[in-house]
Structures are given as C-alpha cells and as structure tokens.
C-alpha cells in the first residue's frame, strides 16, 4: 500500500515513476505515484556529497 493524497492505495493501481539526478554536490532520488493522471505521492531522497568549508588562517609576524 502506498500513502497518497487520496489515502492508502495498492501499488498495483498506481503508475510509478522514478528518477535520479547526480551533481557535484548531491545525488537525488525521487519516486512518484500517479493515479488517473494525478500526482498522488512524491518522495525525495537527497544524499549530500560534501558541504560547508571554512578556511582558517593565522597571520605570521
């Protein structure tokens, strides 16, 4: 069963669409379920590859 905007619907009654986007900073996977031409479920998983960096510095005399 899939949780949708119309309640729980058996997966066999839904059209499933999946995708993945890979960039330098993240990998994103998404899954959608459509019912009679209407998007009724969309979940997203973003996997960060790296993030914020601060450069430290100490002055010399």
Partner 1 sequence: MANTTAMCTSFKGELLTGTHNFTPSTGNTFKAALYFATGSLGAATTVYSTTNEVTNTSGTGYTAGGVTVTNANAPATSGTTAYWTPSASFSWSALTVTTAFDAVLIYNSSASNKAVSVHNFGSQTVTAGTFTLTMPTNDATTGLLRIA
Using CB under 8 A as the binding rule, whether residue 48 contacts partner 1 is answered as yes
Do residues 1 and 11 touch, judged by C-beta distance below 8 A? yes
* Cβ neighbourhood burial of 54 (10 Å; 0-12, 13-18, 19+): exposed
Q: How far apart are CA 31 and CA 60, in angstroms?
A: 54
Give the footprint of partner 1 on residues 3-42 (CB under 8 A): 3-5, 21, 23, 25-26, 28, 30-32, 39-42
Of the residues 1, 50, 58, 59, which one makes contact with partner 1 according to CB under 8 A: 50
| Residues that bind partner 1 in the complex, under the rule CB under 8 A | 3-5, 21, 23, 25-26, 28, 30-32, 39-56
């Amino acid at each position: 069963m899939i949780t949708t905007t119309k309640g729980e619907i058996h997966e066999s009654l839904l059209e499933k669409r999946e995708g993945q986007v890979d960039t330098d900073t993240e990998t994103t996977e998404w899954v959608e379920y459509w019912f009679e031409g209407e998007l009724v479920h969309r979940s997203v998983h973003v996997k960060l590859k790296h993030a914020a960096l601060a450069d430290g510095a100490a002055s010399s005399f």
